Chain A
Amino acid sequence: MKRISLFFLLGLFLTSLSYRQGEGPALITYKKEIQKERSLASEESSQCMRDLFTTQTLKGEVKELETLMDTNRLSGRWKHLDLSELPTSAAVFLTKFGDKLGDKTTSESIDASNCRDVPCLFNTLYGTPDGIAGYVHYLWFLRTGIYLAADNVVPDQQIQTPGIYNGKSHPLVSYLLDDDELYGFWRLSKLLKAPYSTLTYLKEIQRVPRGEAMEGKNSGACGLANSDGWITVSDSCLVVYPRSDGGYLFPAVIHELSHQLDFEEGRRLNDDFFRSHMRDYTEMTGFEMMEYLDSNGLNIRKWLLKPDSRLVSDYAKTSPHESFAELLAYYVVDGDDVKAKVDQAALNFAAGYFQGKNFEVQNQADGWATQAGILKTNDVLKAMVSCSSPECLDQSLSLLTQEELGRIRSLEPDGCRVLTNPLIAQTLPGKIREALNETTAKLKFSGSENPEMKQKLLDNFDLVLNPEDAYTSYFICHSQNAECYPREVASRKGPKLEEFGEAKGALLALYLETYRFERVQDEVISFYKSLLSSREGVMKIKTDELWESCKQIPPSDSAPPRGNDYVVRDGYMVSSFYHCLNQGFNSGLNATLDAVKLREFTPKNREERSFVLHLLKPKFTETLDHKLQNGRKYELRYREAFTTQYGTWLYNQMRSNRYWVPRGRRTQSELELACKQAAIKHIGGNIFFHLKKELYEDLLKKTCQGIN
């Protein structure tokens, strides 16, 4: 009985997201089956999460997540593997990151021809068949969409040759994670929820070779986050003490991830590049920008900090973006210390990124006790129905208390760490029991024992937990404030629970706890990301259509560039093309969504459609960025070809046909300028992605230099 209860909830949640053809939209398809076994063993109440760090546990987690995300099979091949035979997430991983794996000095260095799944590929690199490494790397991808690298290319390495770092050659193994580091990333993948698990622009976390400092940085730096979508970390940012769930890896990696979050929030809010540079944050933390032109006319910009500012660390005092990353990292890792160091406003700000969760030790424990009272509602009800004596009920509740303690130890990433506090260890069982007693009291309808009502509730429990209202509420509230979601759930679910009389309140609380905002968010975003990743071909077709239609318009810079749906991140684009892209952006995005005609996928309502469009936008933008890069490369190749073929002709033409020479006296530089202005008109071809005079600067210079 006690085992079913936990899995009942877990199973419902996971299976609710899986699709059965003909049962309607994937996310709201409700499956009544209750799976019969647990994925994670929590029978041993003394086991900690670290004790469950085994291949068997990790395999179970991979299987669950692959099932959850198995939306639309991809076609094609990756090396020897037929993608259509793989779960969607595995095929998506291979399509996106498969070619990055391993020793990039030679494509044939590792023979993975025996592998039939992603963990096996990683394990081949580690030389440990069926080891934990492959599962950790793959789970990191499944939970975050980010590639935890196992290759010998560091994104910003100074010498481009793979395996060369700090001027030395390193074997692939020195880029791989050891067991403690793997445990650290596994624990972190369970600790961090959305928005950390749903970062859009971050693609990769790469370890630099063991024993090496960060290339080109001061010796104190051990982690770097770049807005181009990568993080690099070195040894001292990867220290883990598994027995205590401590070590610098946790704050260090969360710090770097928080930088990425800072970029993404800035982009999302469309205000400043960093969320932390927005006025409300700088005022809260006490930062002020000092800016002035120095005596050489150089623009000097320095962050100043008010003397009485209360920040979490000395490093946090260097800039708003470092204070943002430090605050969020230590908020999770050492909640009690942060509370003592910063103001309440900063704590509230940080809590906003963790769905209001408070990581102080006592608060975590109290939260688990409250949660137990809610999540065990079904078990309490069963005990009430099956027990005819108070002693029996008392015994059942004691059993549930022990079971819940076991769950906290083994499934909560902070469970064992918090329970090392003697006071918590002593008081938590009592608090859990108290919460269960309260649930029992809530389920006694109107003071009378009503067996029929209890049985009815028991029989309909799966319907009570139908996730449809949670998902609809999420789509409505995903970009609104924290109060929106519970309010929306209550307004949708509440009336459906009226038939259970006074138990309504307890059931609504159970529903909200089961479908907590962050949990729904994680699942929904993972599902849609997987779905959309599996249909990137459609997006390519739609961006091609938009791109090609814009190329039909002759390039013109007569009007300034307008619009900000698509923004050119760097370099030039002719304004007519930019304008066209922005005009067609939203219709292209909608056309892409309409073209994702999966058998199971139709947004159920306006809110869901709007949500999916919001997820689709960064991908659509990224595809356009990629096309822009290719367009620029094409124009550079065209320039080379033109210069080779017509360079000499142009040189001679400008000297033989002197129609362009200005009348009257002119200086040499005026003459050369007039020559360039005339010469550029001889250069044909439509240039969309460069300023023409800059693209052909060298040719024009060679053509006109010294002309007389």
Chain B
Amino acid sequence: MWKSMGPLIIIFLLTSCGEKKSIEPGITSRSSLIEIKGAPQATQKVPGGEVLIYRGNEKFQISSEKVSATFRDPTGDERNVLYWRHRFRDCSVKEFPLSEELIPEMELKCAARGQSIVFVKNSGKVSRITEYEKN
């Protein structure tokens, strides 16, 4: 009997995965975020809103009760700036320094995708990924 139920179980699992809710800047509300992610570990007041901080250094900026931006660490190939240069190659990207420091952190921004990465100049390494409302 269990053998014959195999396909059903697989379909059920796939359906479950498919129902995983995503968090979209500009759309997802604070309450939906909390419904999906649970209560934050900490919160931080920022100009014009608040940032909810979750495990794994994942952050969600809330402005006017909506998620306006997300911040997370890169994983795997995402750590490589070249990966993003390829991903953004059809985008009109902007690259600019984020600080006045000698070795400035840079931002590579693709407004059409609503994504940007933070990296250290000449390092090839990405330190942060930001997502925001698409233009």
Chain A residues proximal to chain B, CB less than 8 Å: 224-228, 266-267, 272-274, 277, 279, 290-295, 297, 299-301, 557, 560-562, 564, 567-573, 575, 578, 691
| Cross-chain contact B130 with A299 (CB below 8 angstroms) | yes
Q: Which residues of B contact A561 (CB under 8 A)?
A: 77, 80, 82-83, 86
| Cross-chain contact B130 with A293 (CB below 8 angstroms) | yes
Q: Which residues of B contact A301 (CB under 8 A)?
A: 98-99, 105, 118, 128
| Cross-chain contact A295 with B128 (CB below 8 angstroms) | no
Q: Which residues of B contact A295 (CB under 8 A)?
A: 47-48
Q: Which residues of A contact B86 (CB under 8 A)?
A: 557, 560-561, 575
Of the candidate stretches B2-10, B29-37, B119-127, the one touching chain A is B119-127
Closest partner residue, chain B, to A217 (CB atom): B102
| Cross-chain contact A292 with B69 (CB below 8 angstroms) | yes
Q: Which residues of B contact A299 (CB under 8 A)?
A: 98, 107, 109, 116, 118, 130
| Cross-chain contact B98 with A572 (CB below 8 angstroms) | no
- If A292-B61, A292-B69, A561-B80 touch, whether A297 touches B128 (CB-CB below 8 Å) is no
For B59, B83, B125, the residue with the greatest tally of chain A CB atoms inside 10 Å of its CB is B125
Closest partner residue, chain A, to B106 (CB atom): A570
Q: B110 at interface (Cβ–Cβ under 8 A)? A: no
User: Which 9 A-B pairs rank lowest in CB-CB distance, beginning with the nearest?
Assistant: A292-B46, A567-B124, A273-B120, A569-B124, A293-B69, A568-B82, A273-B123, A561-B82, A569-B122
A300 to B132, CA, bound (A): 13
Number of interface residues of B (CB under 8 A): 42
Q: Which residues of A contact B46 (CB under 8 A)?
A: 290, 292, 300
Q: Which residues of A contact B121 (CB under 8 A)?
A: 227, 570
In addition to A273-B123, A293-B68, A567-B80, 10 A-B residue pairs with Cβ atoms within 8 Å of each other are: A274-B120, A291-B51, A292-B49, A294-B47, A299-B116, A300-B46, A561-B82, A567-B125, A569-B124, A570-B122
| Cross-chain contact A557 with B89 (CB below 8 angstroms) | yes
Q: B57 at interface (Cβ–Cβ under 8 A)? A: yes
Q: Which residues of A contact B98 (CB under 8 A)?
A: 299, 301
8 Å CB contact of A564 from B71, B80, B102, B130:
B80
Mostly helix, strand, loop or mixed at chain A's interface? loop
Q: Which residues of B contact A279 (CB under 8 A)?
A: 57
Q: B85 at interface (Cβ–Cβ under 8 A)? A: yes
Closest partner residue, chain B, to A274 (CB atom): B120
Closest partner residue, chain A, to B130 (CB atom): A299
8 Å CB contact of A570 from B69, B87, B124:
B124
Closest partner residue, chain A, to B123 (CB atom): A273
A267 to B122, CA, bound (A): 12
- If A299-B130, A301-B98 touch, whether A292 touches B51 (CB-CB below 8 Å) is yes
- If A291-B128, A292-B61 touch, whether A228 touches B122 (CB-CB below 8 Å) is yes
Closest partner residue, chain A, to B128 (CB atom): A291
A-B contact count (CB 8 A): 97
Q: B16 at interface (Cβ–Cβ under 8 A)? A: no
Contact bitstring B102-116, A, C-beta under 8 A = 1, else 0 = 110101010000001
Closest partner residue, chain A, to B121 (CB atom): A570
Q: Which residues of A contact B69 (CB under 8 A)?
A: 292-293
| Cross-chain contact B51 with A273 (CB below 8 angstroms) | no
Q: Which residues of B contact A225 (CB under 8 A)?
A: 102
8 Å CB contact of A573 from B71, B82, B105, B125:
B82
Q: What are 24 sample pairs from A and B whose C-beta atoms fall under 8 A apart?
A: A227-B121, A227-B122, A227-B123, A273-B123, A291-B51, A291-B59, A291-B71, A291-B130, A292-B51, A294-B47, A299-B130, A301-B105, A301-B128, A557-B89, A560-B77, A560-B83, A560-B86, A561-B77, A561-B80, A564-B80, A570-B81, A570-B124, A571-B85, A575-B86
B64 → A minimal CB distance (Å): 12
A267 to B85, CA, bound (A): 20
A572 to B44, CA, bound (A): 37
Q: Which residues of A contact B107 (CB under 8 A)?
A: 299
A94 to B32, CA, bound (A): 65
A170 → B minimal CB distance (Å): 22
| Cross-chain contact A292 with B47 (CB below 8 angstroms) | yes
Contact bitstring B64-92, A, C-beta under 8 A = 1, else 0 = 00001101000001011111011101000
Q: Which residues of B contact A293 (CB under 8 A)?
A: 61, 68-69, 130, 132
A642 to B98, CA, bound (A): 36
B29 → A minimal CB distance (Å): 17
B10 → A minimal CB distance (Å): 29
Q: Which residues of B contact A273 (CB under 8 A)?
A: 119-120, 123, 125, 127
A578 to B85, CA, bound (A): 13
A575 to B44, CA, bound (A): 40
- If A292-B47, A560-B83 touch, whether A226 touches B103 (CB-CB below 8 Å) is yes
Q: Which residues of A contact B61 (CB under 8 A)?
A: 292-293
Q: Which residues of A contact B102 (CB under 8 A)?
A: 224-226
Q: Which residues of B contact A572 (CB under 8 A)?
A: 82, 85
8 Å CB contact of B127 from A224, A226, A272, A571:
A272
Closest partner residue, chain A, to B89 (CB atom): A691
Closest partner residue, chain A, to B126 (CB atom): A273
A578 to B86, CA, bound (A): 11
- If A301-B99, A560-B77 touch, whether A567 touches B47 (CB-CB below 8 Å) is no
A583 → B minimal CB distance (Å): 15
A476 to B89, CA, bound (A): 44
A554 → B minimal CB distance (Å): 17
Q: Which residues of B contact A227 (CB under 8 A)?
A: 103, 120-123
A560 to B85, CA, bound (A): 10
Q: Which residues of A contact B116 (CB under 8 A)?
A: 299
Q: Which residues of A contact B99 (CB under 8 A)?
A: 301
For A274, A277, A557, A570, the residue with the greatest tally of chain B CB atoms inside 10 Å of its CB is A570
Q: Which residues of B contact A567 (CB under 8 A)?
A: 80, 82, 124-125
A136 to B128, CA, bound (A): 43
A639 to B71, CA, bound (A): 39
Closest partner residue, chain B, to A272 (CB atom): B127
